[in-house]
Amino acid sequence: MQEKVKDAPGSEFTWVGTRPVRPDGVDKVTGRARFGADMAMQGQLVGKVLRSPHPHARIRAIDTSAAEKLPGVKAVVTREDFQDQPSEFIPAGEMMINYRDVVRNVMAREKALYEGHAVAAVAATSAAIAKQALKLIKVDYEVLPHVIDVVEAMQPGAPLLHEDMITAGVEPAPKTPSNVAKRIEFGAGDVEAGFKQADVIVERAFTTKPVHQGYIEPHACVASVSEDGQADVWVTTQGHWIVRAHCARLLGWDVGKIRVTSSEIGGGFGGKTVVYLEPLALALAKKSRRPVKMVMTREEVFRASGPTSGAHVRVKIGARKDGRIVAAEAELKYQAGAFAGSPVQPGAMCAYAPYDLENVKVVGYDVVTNRPKVAAYRAPGGPISEFAVESALDELAGKLGMDPIEFRLKNAAKQGTKAAYGPKFGPIGLVETLEAAKSHAHWRTPLGKNQGRGLACGFWFNIGGETSVSLSLNEDGTLSLTAGTPDIGGLRASLCMMAAEELSIPMDKIRVQIGDTGQLGYNFLTGGSRATFSSGMATVEAAREVMKEACKRAAKLWELPEDAVEYKDGAVRPAGPNAGKHAPMSLKEIAGIAGKTGGPIAGYARINAHGAAPSFATHIADVEVDPETGKVTVVRYTAIQDAGRAIHPSYVEGQYQGGVAQGIGWALNEEYIYGADGKLQNPGFLDYRVPVASDLPMIDTVIVEVPNPRHPYGVRGVGETPICPPMAALANAVAAATGVRFTDLPMSPPKVLKALDEARAKGTARL
Amino acid sequence: MAKHHVAATVNGDAVEFLCETEETLLDVLRDQLGLTGTKEGCSTGDCGACSVTVDGRLVCSCLMLGVEANGKAIGTIEGMAQGEELHPLQRKFLEHAALQCGVCTPGFLVASKALLEKNANPTETEVRYWLAGNLCRCTGYDKIVRAVLDAAAEMRGA
């Protein structure tokens, strides 16, 4: 759907660009909204999972007989209940999946590959009985040596997770197995020749720790299977069609037999794009002939659901004295967790995406370790590589004596720039965000004692994909809009606003819902910052179909040719030479004649949304470092980002602010901490500390609008880009405040204090 | 062991329930009384999603046993609106777009109401420290803090 995007933001629109109360808002402030764990089915059982206490162990045998005999236990499932799957990588949005691994992740087969790996599941009449039953399951483990660190996992002789894993992407193929699942490489030009032209080169190694998405709502579902095999699942997920596809595949059932309803979703950030409990609940429900409800504890969420990769990254960037970058290299080693499939590919593609480079080379490694399989987390892979690149650029600008904004402007990608990862950019807003940063009062405000200021840019691709939306005209002229991408943060408001804009009617005449998998054609999940873009595009198409059909019906009534009738200002009216011949008909009046002019009126859009456009950001951070404790406090933060067009600016700002808060957590205190025994030591919100209100300042936002010409309202995805710049913005700010460059996240107080003490001893510290 | 008989009030209504010794007040509210507006995010008192008031005092209902509710007055999110009229905090949360996914919202509202009952004119810092026991992963807290300050101003008639 291409068309000329209307220019002057806001002014010519009635709804787009305004800030109405969201349609699902009242339910969410009154407790009426139903999330994953808020559903109960008649006669439901409680499902619980037995998890491996070992990070790496062969499973010799599982004896469930004692558990099965316990009164109140209605079903037990293990690896025996799931058919093996062939190895085949299938694109799944921003990540790839392989059902051979998915079936092993939901239920361990030959080996338990991380502490917390599911080994068996039970359904019982109460939680207490289910827990007791888990204790009665006897698992015969042969404990194996484990490996947690990505660099150690790549060493020859490291414990092997998969004895048949031969590194892909290496010619000739290695003869021996390793933990390296894949090597990737891409680039352009000649980096060696480029570095020879450089006046200044910065080369640095960086490490980041795995961090969890930290959604407040744990994974939860309720499943029911009838005697004739018709299944229903209620689940908190970012994509219920994806849940249906995965469950059908893993259980060998027909897709059409499974109906999945998405509950309200209490945060996902990428982590609710995969299945954990759902196939187990269905298998238990089928076996027990009772509905089964399963809810993870917070500890299970941390131990067994996917964080993002920890990584080791080396970057080398060379520039001439005039500030032009002449060569850039990166080597990325990403932990995938127990199964192949880290986001190293998108991480590699993001690394240098904001810059117009002639000579660039990026190499990436996807490495398995004895940790939970990583899942997507907001711009999967991007924040890690961009942290490294944006930190090195800051250092390079310093060595060149250039302002960090001017240095970036000198190298910034623009419309027509060929990105290092392949495509040529259309209209993009990186330069506009840098200019907005330069003219922002924040950039010029004097700093206080022990304070420093940092800046960094960010990028994310954004995606489109398969999408279905229906819009029915009700008999009284109101409308029912049904979309299939779960609403994770204001989607229904945006869709309603776009539909109201198209139809020129009040927003409250449209009720919008998220339909179940039986109500619409296929919908890919809410991820890749695609929901407002794709479902918005489909909503506009459905609204236009309704308007066209309304015109057709009036034409029939007025006995005019169809093209002699137009839809304008919320009513159907005769056009051209026939203008004024008949009184305009409102949607209410059209609805009244629908029956006798051909039946119900509805628009139904089934599209593969193309034309998603990237979003760039520039962030400015001020920090204050406590010289005595090493605590870093963010005292001021400004996030500037291109939204294409903000449909509901408050929720666009909210995405920027939320991404920043998560980035601050990643930068300053979040990390998975493992003991030498390979067990996670901080599986709770007390010890895995996400930022709380008293940790953060207000987060200022600037919405830049460079409309995406391939969306009817100019929309770009906005959700993921804002988590990319904060780590480097903060590291650059800490470097400015202290004179110490931090390359190892998180910059937690003990680490900062130690580095400060060392720098003080050497006389290089600034405080 | 036999279940315990407990009598209490929830949002002003008398309730009676039977509960196991180990059942938390949160379990009772959600599973027995059908009041699922109060959420479970961690069950260890770290996230505040299960915030309720007990005799006017803010508590994490996951850290209190059902039996301890005997004779107490419990307040939950379901009791916050008066008829069709939303509480000013609820209205301000909507106007300021102070929620994204909304799962932490009931806890924030209950906690914020408890704050404003103690301190009608809190500073931004006081709001941030009072709400430090409620985790939100979506918003970065900015719009939540603004909504609370705005509601406080409106309730003071400022």
Residue-wise pLDDT for A102-141, tens only, equals 999 999 999 999 999 999 999 999 999 999 999 999 999 9
The pLDDT of residue A579 is 85
**Residue A210's pLDDT band (boundaries 50, 70, 90)?**
very high
For B104, the closest of A216, A488, A657 (CB atoms) is A216
Tell whether the model's pLDDT for residue A374 goes beyond 60: yes
The pLDDT of residue A3 is 42
Task: Report pTM.
Answer: 0.97
**Residue A534's pLDDT band (boundaries 50, 70, 90)?**
very high
Closest CA to A333 of A307, A313, A305: A313
Three-state secondary structure call for residue A625: strand
Closest CA to A607 of A487, A470, A461: A470
Tell whether the model's pLDDT for residue A10 goes beyond 80: no
Q: In this predicted model, what pLDDT tens digit does every residue of B74-126 receive, in sequence order?
A: 999 999 999 999 999 999 999 999 999 999 999 999 999 999 999 999 999 99
Is B140 part of the contact surface with chain A (CB cutoff 8 Å)?
yes
Interface of A with B in 692-731 (CB under 8 A): 692-696, 698-699
Give me the sign of the Cα torsion angle A745, A750, A751, A755. Answer: positive
Closest CA to B107 of B85, B137, B68: B137
Q: Which residues of B touch A217 (CB under 8 A)?
A: 39, 41, 101, 103
For B97, the closest of A654, A660, A699 (CB atoms) is A654
The pLDDT of residue A91 is 76
The residue assigned the tokens 């005697």 is: A227
- B39–A696 CB contact, under 8 Å: no
Mutation pick from B101, B127, B135 vs chain A, by most beta carbons of A within 10 Å, is: B101
Interface of B with A in 92-121 (CB under 8 A): 93-97, 99-106, 109
- DSSP annotation of A508 reads G
Q: Which residues of A touch B129 (CB under 8 A)?
A: 693-694
The pLDDT of residue A92 is 74
Phi, psi dihedral angles at A657 (to 5 degrees):
-65, -40
- Closest-CA distance of chain A to residue B48, Å: 10
- Closest-CA distance of chain A to residue B123, Å: 12
- A661–B100 CB contact, under 8 Å: no
- DSSP annotation of A4 reads P
Find the closest chain B residue to A298 by CA distance: B42
A717 within 8 A of A462, measured Cβ to Cβ: yes
The pLDDT of residue A89 is 83
Q: In this predicted model, what pLDDT tens digit does every residue of A606-642 receive, in sequence order?
A: 999 999 999 999 999 999 999 999 999 999 999 999 9
Is the peptide bond between A712 and the residue preceding it cis, with omega within 30 degrees of 0? no
Q: Which residues of B touch A25 (CB under 8 A)?
A: 94, 99
pLDDT, greater one: A240 or B1? A240
For A216, the closest of B81, B129, B135 (CB atoms) is B135
- Closest-CA distance of chain B to residue A687, Å: 10
The residue assigned the tokens 């006995």 is: A559
Q: In this predicted model, what pLDDT tens digit does every residue of A242-281 receive, in sequence order?
A: 999 999 999 999 999 999 999 999 999 999 999 999 999 9
Mutation pick from A216, A377, A619, A687 vs chain B, by most beta carbons of B within 10 Å, is: A216
Q: Which residues of B touch A718 (CB under 8 A)?
A: none
Is A217 part of the contact surface with chain B (CB cutoff 8 Å)?
yes
- B143–A264 CB contact, under 8 Å: no
How many beta-carbon pairs below 8 A join chains A and B? 186
For A658, the closest of B40, B138, B145 (CB atoms) is B138
For A693, the closest of B97, B99, B145 (CB atoms) is B145
- DSSP annotation of A353 reads T
- Closest-CA distance of chain B to residue A307, Å: 15
Mean pLDDT across A293-314: 98
Q: Which residues of B touch A132 (CB under 8 A)?
A: none
For A693, the closest of B41, B86, B132 (CB atoms) is B132
For residue A229 the two structure tokens come to 């095999």
- B138–A265 CB contact, under 8 Å: no
- A265–B81 CB contact, under 8 Å: no
ipTM, two decimals: 0.98
The pLDDT of residue A93 is 67
- Closest-CA distance of chain A to residue B71, Å: 24
Is B64 part of the contact surface with chain A (CB cutoff 8 Å)?
no
What's the rounded Cα separation, in Å, for the pair A442 and A429? 20
The residue assigned the tokens 């004779």 is: B71
**Residue A11's pLDDT band (boundaries 50, 70, 90)?**
low
Mutation pick from B40, B124, B138 vs chain A, by most beta carbons of A within 10 Å, is: B138
What's the rounded Cα separation, in Å, for the pair A666 and A35? 27
For residue A194 the two structure tokens come to 């480029």
**Residue A4's pLDDT band (boundaries 50, 70, 90)?**
very low
A661 within 8 A of A691, measured Cβ to Cβ: yes
Q: Could you report how far apart the first and last alpha carbons of chain B are, in Å?
A: 56
- Closest-CA distance of chain B to residue A546, Å: 30
- B80–A660 CB contact, under 8 Å: no
Is the peptide bond between A172 and the residue preceding it cis, with omega within 30 degrees of 0? yes
Q: Each residue of A449-459: b (16+ CB within 10 Å) or e?
A: eebbbbbbbbb
Is B37 part of the contact surface with chain A (CB cutoff 8 Å)?
yes
Q: Which helix (H) or strand (E) holds A760?
A: helix A749-762
For B101, the closest of A26, A489, A693 (CB atoms) is A489
Tell whether the model's pLDDT for residue A587 goes beyond 50: yes
Q: In this predicted model, what pLDDT tens digit does every residue of A694-752 receive, in sequence order?
A: 999 999 999 999 999 999 999 999 999 999 999 999 999 999 999 999 999 999 999 99
The pLDDT of residue A331 is 98
The helix-helix angle for B142-156 and A649-668 (nearest 10°) equals 120
The residue assigned the tokens 């970058």 is: A325
Is B55 part of the contact surface with chain A (CB cutoff 8 Å)?
no
Q: In this predicted model, what pLDDT tens digit does every residue of A42-74 receive, in sequence order?
A: 999 999 999 999 999 999 999 999 999 999 999
- B35–A267 CB contact, under 8 Å: no
Interface of A with B in 284-303 (CB under 8 A): 295, 297-298
- A266–B104 CB contact, under 8 Å: yes
- B141–A26 CB contact, under 8 Å: no
Mean pLDDT of chain A: 96
- B94–A214 CB contact, under 8 Å: no
Tell whether the model's pLDDT for residue A556 goes beyond 90: yes
Q: Which residues of A touch B95 (CB under 8 A)?
A: 21
Is B43 part of the contact surface with chain A (CB cutoff 8 Å)?
yes
- B41–A297 CB contact, under 8 Å: no
Mutation pick from A22, A28, A132 vs chain B, by most beta carbons of B within 10 Å, is: A28
Is B36 part of the contact surface with chain A (CB cutoff 8 Å)?
yes
What's the rounded Cα separation, in Å, for the pair A528 and A526? 7
Q: Which residues of A touch B137 (CB under 8 A)?
A: 213-216, 267, 269, 658, 661-662, 690
Tell whether the model's pLDDT for residue A94 goes beyond 90: no
Mean pLDDT across B43-61: 98
Mean pLDDT across A17-24: 98
